Amino acid sequence: MRTTDGDLVLGLYRSRHPRDVLEAAAGLGVARLDTASNYLHHRSHEVLRTAAGDLLPEFSLSTKVGYFPGEHSLDPARLRAAVEQAVKDLGREPDTVLLHNPEHARPGAGMLAQACMVLADAAQEGLCGSWGVSSWDPRPLVDLDAPSPDVLMVRAGLLVGVDVLEAAEALVTRWQPSQVWGMSPFDGSTAKAVWERFDPRIFLQRSAPATKVQAAFRSAYELPRVGAVAVGTDSVEHLRELVGALAYEVDDQVVLEYRQLLRARRQPV
Ligand SMILES: NC(=O)c1ccc[n+]([C@@H]2O[C@H](COP(=O)([O-])OP(=O)(O)OC[C@H]3O[C@@H](n4cnc5c(N)ncnc54)[C@H](OP(=O)(O)O)[C@@H]3O)[C@@H](O)[C@H]2O)c1
């Protein structure tokens, strides 16, 4: 039974980037924001700078490159230009730049390594603090070697299928990232019918007075084991609820049994 010392990352994928939520995040001790060059119709960086530029120094900021208007690309020149543009639009160097869903390009090892080197070089030159890879579906990447990233970001939580979960863990073993971050703990929405069908509080130590949302969020740090989880909300109250979840303890035995159930479901005997 453990509490987490993991970080909550406020993810901006679905967000309108409301200033009150960013202010509340800083006040609640949420020290990290995650965005991407294509979020908010490719305007996330610019909007962050213009609407909340004074708040940005409060946060460690990660962003992603790879999605361009109308298409995804791992072309090295375009990736490099995207990193430079991010610095201009944000008005500062991002702390981390991630390659955004490289699996979309179905890369071979050579193409992936080349794309990673663009970001590694950018970090080396000070255009960003560190670099990494964010993958929604890491299954096409598991057999590929790549330079060891500072960060690997993968889906996390109770709704991650066993194939994706195990592919993420295989990548961690293969690439040896310095940090592993999770994302999308509610699979994009707490309103999905599946969340009505079970009570995630079973994953917490019995005495925890948590809400179902808190239990689902807290469990995401264990499936797979990650040091940070990027979660989206445009509500100050919801953010407060999420921050409160970090104090709860997960029941490791229940997580273990859940993993066994997931595996058994994939491999019926
Ligand atoms: N491939 C990639 O790189 C990739 C892909 C997906 C996501 N991500 C990262 O992960 C972040 C999170 O992913 P996501 O936004 O897709 O999914 P998510 O975090 O699983 O779900 C976000 C939804 O959960 C709701 N929510 C959050 N806290 C709540 C609470 N306390 N009570 C009720 N509802 C709550 C939010 O609604 P309210 O606004 O109403 O609170 C929001 O619509 C993204 O912003 C991004 O940073 C990265």
Q: Averaged in consecutive runs of 10 residues, what is the pLDDT profile of the chain (269 residues)?
A: 72 97 96 98 98 95 97 98 98 98 96 98 98 98 97 98 97 98 98 96 89 98 98 98 96 96 79
182 Cα–ligand 1 center, Å: 11
Question: Residue ranges per domain, the chain?
Answer: 7-266
> Contact at 8 Å (CB) between 102 and 74?
yes
In this predicted structure, what is the pLDDT of residue 1? 42
Which CATH number is correct for 7-266, 3.30.70.20, 3.20.20.100, 2.40.30.10, 3.40.190.10?
3.20.20.100
188 Cα–ligand 1 center, Å: 5
258 Cα–ligand 1 center, Å: 23
Name the residue of 151, 164, 184, 221 whose CB sits within 8 Å of the most ligand 1 atoms, as the mutation to test its pocket.
184
- Pick the residue whose CA is nearest to atom 34 on ligand 1: 190
Give the C-alpha separation, 243 to 91, whole Å: 28
Q: 3-class secondary structure for 231-254?
A: ECCCCHHHHHHHHHHCCCCECHHH
Cβ within 8 Å of residue 135, ≥6 positions away = 101, 102, 103, 141, 152, 153, 154, 168, 171
Q: Give the pocket of ligand 1 (CB within 6 Å).
A: 11-14, 34, 64, 100-101, 134, 136, 153, 183-190, 213, 230-235, 238, 241-242
Residue type, 205: Q
What atom in ligand 1 is closest to the CA of residue 237? 31
